[in-house]
Structure 1
């Protein structure tokens, strides 16, 4: 199994719903709770992204990969072997899923050798499959030899529906508004506030990514 970790590099510059939209939906007048509502919008968006396993507004992620079959520190071979370390651990696959799509661009692919020296893997070796949110090696391309077994590859990419709130599907935005209003009404009751409202979950359902992909 391919071990991987995901880190947010650049967060979204804005939220899918505005403060004025949240106030109108929740029927809140005045500005006394503007700071609270702004924080709740961010919380609801983060909950949506976690539940959906998607990015909403444009953001940058870094996916770090071990070689296939790389293990912990325990010894797994008692003999002496010649040849690239990739052949022992299984190397990197020709197709790598990119979590938290929709993915719009791959910024860079960096590999690290056994001496921890980094090298940028040429973009001519791979392509982005937008429909499947995955990196695919081009025909005839191979990964570099002697990639270190742990954290040997870093893929940095851009994900999200777009840089503007208008790019986010309306059902998702509506689900966030419902959640924000629920969070506002339930403030002080942490247990109830953490759960997605049924209406929000229903609106999110068609967009939710299921399966074992890293969320």
Structure 2
């Protein structure tokens, strides 16, 4: 199972102006660095939680239908199912009628329930599921507690800016960060 981004987010969950205000930076001399730290903080938060902060498109590749008839869409919150495609013996795509599948968005991770659907003839990546996920199109749609976690993370990385290159960030997760994101973390048994 592989998931790729097909339509990346436009912008970030925190704006440069918000981050500069939080950091009490009054000049634009380090804007490039601050923008990089915002991106690193978002990527870290999304990786730790499985969340998608801003609206994005995804494509999930599967070799075959799962035995339990439930495909886990490991991005949250899923907002829309766009297509389910099965490849035939000639390698041609055939769209599945979306009325024959059910998207369960209340569960986390969201799952796609499939009934008896034609098996793919292509051995590798014979099934593609296209969907969208994210809290919304701007940082205003992102829950405040997640933005607060990002602010604290950006501030901690900014403090270490002279000792840790941006390519090695995040070098530090600040105190309290884990408590802020705890309700959003992925849980498994």
Per the normalisation by structure 2, the TM-score is: 0.89
Which of 144, 156, 164 pairs up with 1:182? 156
TM-superposed CA distance for 1:8, in Å, is 1.0
1:95 counterpart residue number: 70
Deviation at 1:6, TM superposition (A): 1.0
The runs of at least 4 aligned residues of structure 1 exceeding 4 Å deviation read none
Match of 1:136 among 95, 102, 113: 113
Q: Specify every segment of 5 or more residues in structure 1 that has no aligned partner in the other structure, as ranges.
A: 69-90
Aligned mates of 1:38, 1:152 — CA distance in 2: 39
**Secondary structure in structure 2 of the residue aligned to 1:198:** coil
Residue 93 of structure 1, CA deviation: 4.4
Distance 1:145 1:175, change over 3 A: closer
Answer yes or no: is the 8 Å Cα contact 1:111–1:119 preserved in 2: yes
Of 119, 122, 125, the residue aligned with 2:100 is 125
Taking structure 1 as the reference length, the TM-score comes to 0.79
1:1-215 aligned at under 5 Å gives the runs: 4-67=1-64, 93-132=68-107, 133-137=110-114, 141-190=115-164, 193-211=170-188
Would you say the 8 A contact 1:186–1:192 is kept in 2?
no
If you compute each CA radius of gyration, which structure gives the higher value, 1 or 2?
1
